[in-house]
């Protein structure tokens, strides 16, 4: 009788130690997430989050894993590194020299990409820190005290603030790398974001319970949305199209075995959560940039800055329409980039395999790309609906601004949470199988 290998999870010393190291590093991350930026005014921050800018900061809070609300040294989370990674991945197929480097020596190419991703993450973190500080300062106008002592001039206070936030981002990236190396393999950055999102759920539920008028009905409604969203995410994420493939027979002694029938699984959503993060960061970028020109003496420039704030600040209907379109578009684009890098057509040709009725090589790659684009359509539309779920729910049941953050976690945040849980489950299961714990266990 076959039993689950998961009952041996803590009997394997190596796996047990990896889990404990991962948990310890996540605890350190959450503790550092409460270390404030030097000179920050907590009362002014609370006023900004509870006032006009709560929707925009709610969007930024998701990307940072809940640290924007604390304005800690980890206020940007690992977002600059993820953005740098996406940029490098998108630029590589476009530049022929980089594409040749990846094809000639994939291992060295990956090392090159990782090195330049770190280099690019530092200036992006510094620029994002400047924009985020100015964003807080802009929404803090009218309060008795400013968020912090910040000026455009590079004085000591400004340099300290920017350096501390940039260092916090690199520290979070370092913790993620430690988790991937000594903890759960290749899941470090995902677990960092996961920990931030999960840590916010109890406080968001507490806000609903405080609402005496509609806490019962609203809580039931939100729980229903969460369960339905989780079910839809699992259903779509596990969807795939199995393309038939014929593998050549093998020579065993003087005999040749018959060709073997196999399948090549193409996922409905190969891009995962990346289109959501990339589209959201791109749409919020104009609102961050607008902070640099909103105080201009030129009336036209100031009006443009105000329009950018209103349009891309997460309040207008235009933002949600653009968000849906950007997510769908980036899903197709990022899927094409990933699939082109894997080059299944050439890999199948080298192994002697062939899709029945399709010529080997370039023709196979074109055929698989055509199939992948067709099955990507429902996945892209699903991601778009997940992205605009807070807006759609708000049309059905208008709720207060504080509860909007909970609905955000219930859609885009849950997509990240479910995806991370699924990847961690498969990673641990692979480790158990590697050690032979998946073998059939005979029970008398």
Residue with tokens 């807006």: 391
Of residues 350 and 167, more confidence is placed in: 167
pLDDT at 441: 44
pLDDT for 295: 64
More confident residue, 74 or 431: 74
- pLDDT band with cut points at 50, 70 and 90 for residue 171: very high
Q: Whole-angstrom Cα distance, residue 69 to residue 51?
A: 13
Mean pLDDT of 26-35: 88
φ, ψ for residue 262, nearest 5 deg: -140, -175
CB 40, CB 147: distance < 8 Å = yes
Taking 90 as the threshold, does the pLDDT of residue 193 lie above it? Answer: no
In angstroms, rounded to a whole number, what is the distance separating the alpha carbons of residues 57 and 74? 15
Q: Which of 199, 388, 366 is nearest to 275 (CA)?
A: 388
The pLDDT, as a whole number, for residue 2 is: 47
User: What pLDDT score was predicted for residue 30?
Assistant: 87
Average confidence (pLDDT) over 47-71: 61
What pLDDT was estimated at residue 49?
63
Find tokens 């609402």 and name the residue: 211
User: How would residue 112 be classed by pLDDT, with cut points 50, 70 and 90?
Assistant: confident
Do 162 and 126 touch, CB atoms closer than 8 A?
yes
Which pLDDT score, from 0 to 100, does residue 56 have?
60
Per-residue confidence (pLDDT) for residue 25, from 0 to 100: 92
DSSP, collapsed to helix, strand or coil, labels residue 438 as coil
Residue 154 scores a pLDDT above 50: no
With 60 as the cut, is the pLDDT of residue 330 above it?
yes
Decide: pTM greater than 0.85.
Answer: no
**Could you give the domains of the chain?**
1-213 (1.10.3370.10), 214-250+257-399 (1.10.3370.10)
- Ranking 77-81, 180-184, 246-250 by mean pLDDT, the lowest is 246-250
Q: What is the predicted pLDDT for the residue at 320?
A: 83
Place of tokens 């948990």: 23
297: helix, coil or strand? coil
Token pair belonging to 128: 């994002």
The mean per-residue pLDDT over the stretch 81-99 comes to 80
99: enclosing H helix or E strand:
helix 96-104
> For 306-314, what is the mean pLDDT?
73
pLDDT of amino acid 174? 92
Highest mean pLDDT among 90-104, 265-279, 322-336 belongs to 322-336
| pLDDT at residue 28 is higher than 90 | yes
Q: Is residue 258 scored above 50 in pLDDT?
A: yes
* Top-confidence residue, 85 or 217: 85
Average pLDDT of the residues in 209-227 = 68
Q: Which two tokens stand for residue 1?
A: 């009788």
Examine the pLDDT at 438 and tell me if it is beyond 90.
Answer: no
Region 144-156 average pLDDT? 50
CA–CA separation, 9 and 334 (whole Å): 36
Residue that the structure tokens 């800690």 belong to: 72
- Whether the CB-CB separation of 172 and 66 falls below 8 Å is answered with no
For residues 333 and 341, the model is more confident at 333
For the segment 127-134, the average pLDDT, to the nearest whole number, is 77
Q: Looking at per-residue confidence, does 79 or 123 come out higher? A: 123
Instruction: Return the pLDDT at 298.
Output: 72
Using alpha carbons, select from 329, 315, 326, 335 the residue that is nearest to residue 401.
315
- Statement: residue 133 has pLDDT above 80: no
User: Region 149-172: what's the mean pLDDT?
Assistant: 72
**Bridge partners (DSSP) listed for residue 263:** 244
Tell me the DSSP string of 39-52.
T--HHHHHHHHTTT
Instruction: Give yes or no for residue 196 having a pLDDT over 90.
Output: no
What was the pLDDT predicted at 1? 43
- Distance, CA of 311 to CA of 268 (rounded, Å): 32
Is the pLDDT at 21 greater than 70, yes or no? yes
State the average pLDDT over residues 293-315: 72
Rounded to 5°, angle at Cα 273 from 365 and 102: 45
354 pLDDT exceeds 90?
no
Portion of the chain with pLDDT greater than 70, in percent: 71
Q: Is the pLDDT of residue 113 over 60?
A: yes
Whole-number pLDDT of residue 178 = 92
Phi and psi angles of residue 187, each rounded to the nearest 5 degrees, phi first: -125, 15
Cβ atoms within 10 Å of 182's Cβ, excluding its own:
15
Average pLDDT value over all residues in the chain: 76
pLDDT of res. 24? 94
């Amino acid at each position: 009788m076959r039993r689950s290998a998961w009952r041996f999870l803590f009997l394997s010393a190596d796996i047990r130690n990896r889990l404990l190291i991962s948990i310890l590093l996540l605890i350190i991350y959450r503790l550092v997430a409460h270390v404030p930026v030097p000179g920050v005014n907590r009362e002014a921050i609370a006023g900004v989050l509870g006032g006009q800018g709560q929707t925009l900061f709610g969007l930024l809070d998701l990307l940072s894993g809940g640290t924007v609300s604390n304005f800690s040294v980890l206020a940007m989370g690992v977002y600059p590194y993820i953005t740098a990674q996406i940029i490098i991945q998108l630029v590589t197929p476009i530049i022929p020299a980089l594409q040749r480097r990846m094809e000639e020596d994939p291992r060295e190419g990956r090392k090159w990409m990782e090195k330049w991703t770190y280099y690019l993450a530092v200036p992006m973190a510094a620029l994002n820190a400047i924009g985020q500080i100015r964003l807080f300062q802009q929404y803090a106008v009218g309060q008795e005290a400013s968020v912090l002592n910040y000026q455009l001039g590079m004085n000591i206070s400004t340099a300290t603030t920017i350096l501390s936030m940039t260092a916090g981002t690199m520290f979070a990236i370092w913790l993620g790398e430690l988790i991937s190396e000594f903890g759960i393999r290749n899941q470090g950055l995902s677990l960092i974001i996961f920990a931030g999102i999960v840590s916010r759920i109890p406080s968001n539920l507490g806000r609903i319970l405080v609402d005496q008028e509609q806490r019962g009905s609203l809580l039931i409604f939100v729980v229903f949305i969460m369960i339905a969203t989780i079910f839809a995410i699992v259903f779509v994420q596990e969807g795939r199209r199995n393309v038939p493939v014929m593998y050549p027979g093998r020579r065993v002694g003087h005999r040749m075995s018959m060709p073997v029938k196999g399948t090549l699984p193409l996922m409905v959503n190969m891009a995962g959560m990346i289109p959501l993060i990339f589209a959201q960061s791109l749409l919020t970028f104009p609102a961050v940039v607008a902070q640099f020109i909103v105080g201009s003496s030129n009336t036209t420039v100031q009006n443009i800055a105000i329009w950018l704030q209103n349009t891309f600040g997460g309040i207008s209907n235009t933002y949600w329409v653009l968000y849906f379109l950007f997510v769908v578009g980036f899903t197709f684009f990022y899927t094409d980039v990933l699939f082109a890098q894997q080059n299944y057509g050439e890999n199948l040709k080298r192994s002697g395999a062939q899709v029945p009725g399709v010529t080997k090589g370039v023709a196979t790659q074109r055929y698989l790309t055509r199939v992948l684009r067709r099955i990507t359509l429902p996945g892209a539309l699903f991601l778009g609906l997940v992205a605009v779920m807070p807006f759609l729910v708000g049309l059905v049941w208008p709720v207060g601004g504080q509860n909007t953050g909970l609905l955000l976690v219930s859609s885009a945040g849950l997509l990240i949470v479910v995806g991370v849980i699924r990847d961690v489950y498969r990673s641990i299961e692979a480790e158990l199988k590697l050690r032979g714990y998946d073998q059939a266990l005979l029970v008398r």
